Chain A
């Protein structure tokens, strides 16, 4: 059973550029959440997608946007990159139950983004 996969594993960009990160959820999962983890810190919630819509959003600017596809995979887009966007970007998947309950989240290996 494949777990959560993310691509690419590493990425180097310059300030002002745009980046797209990709995530495939664990088999059977329908909900994808994205987190940003700065060095030495815990992950911070960016947003969550369910049924191809953004269901919840953390305290991140509009430069951060996302998308979920019919096969439940997801993309995270960041525009106008800043040096402070350098971090490990984590995707987590989960299953939203029939009453809206959700199993806990399982994380992928992350994409390490360096902005120069």
Chain B
């Protein structure tokens, strides 16, 4: 079993919809949680970065972490065709000197 599980999709939604992307993990040592967006044939771009449990909002994006359930989510409000990309969750035991462990990514398509 992988340390981080992520539904590969593809997830297809109409423009303006609310999108929910999720990851589950098994390593209770993970403390830092990130969401990256990756367009086709490009490097991952950092979207959100949260520490421990709780919510964080940035514009149309909201990240949630529930450490008791080992479950993290990314919500995208008012989704746009430009949001069409692969979304990768990543996590680390701490910010210092540690590798990131990634999910396999969820492919999102927002239909105009």
Chain B positions near chain A (C-beta within 8 angstroms): 4, 6, 8, 32, 34, 36, 41-46, 49, 88, 90, 94-105
Cβ-defined contact, A112 with B41, below 8 A: yes
10 contacts between A and B (CB under 8 A): A42-B4, A43-B100, A45-B100, A50-B97, A56-B99, A101-B95, A102-B96, A104-B34, A107-B46, A108-B43
CB-contact partner of B104 in A40, A90, A108, under 8 A: A40
Chain A residues within 8 Å of chain B by Cβ, number? 31
Q: Is the CB of B103 within 8 A of A45?
A: no
A54, chain B: closest CB distance, angstroms: 11
Measured between alpha carbons, how far is A92 from B88 in the docked complex, in Å?
A: 15
Within 8 Å CB of A107, what residues of B? 36, 43-46
The dominant DSSP class at the B interface is loop
Distance between A25 CB and nearest chain B CB, rounded to angstroms: 13
The residue on A at minimum CB distance from B45 is: A107
Q: When chains A and B are docked, how far (Å) is the Cα of A11 from the Cα of B14?
A: 38
* Cβ of A27 to closest chain B Cβ, rounded Å: 16
A100 touches B43 (CB 8 A): no
B102 touches A44 (CB 8 A): yes
Interface residues of A (CB under 8 A from B): 4, 33, 35, 40-45, 48, 50, 55-56, 58, 90, 92, 96-97, 99-110, 112
B58 to chain A minimum Cβ distance, whole angstroms, is 14
Residue of A nearest to B105 (CB): A42
Q: Are A101 and B96 in contact (CB under 8 A)?
A: yes
Separation of A70 and B2 alpha carbons in the complex (Å): 36
| Residue in chain B with minimal CB distance to A90 | B43
| Pair A104/B43 contact, Cβ less than 8 Å | no
Q: Give A106 to B45 CA distance when docked, in angstroms.
A: 7
Identity of the chain A residue whose Cβ is nearest the Cβ of B99 in the assembled complex: A45
Closest to A31 in B: B97
- The CA-CA distance from A102 to B104 in the complex, in Å, is 24
From residue B97, how far is it (CB to closest CB) to chain A in Å? Answer: 6
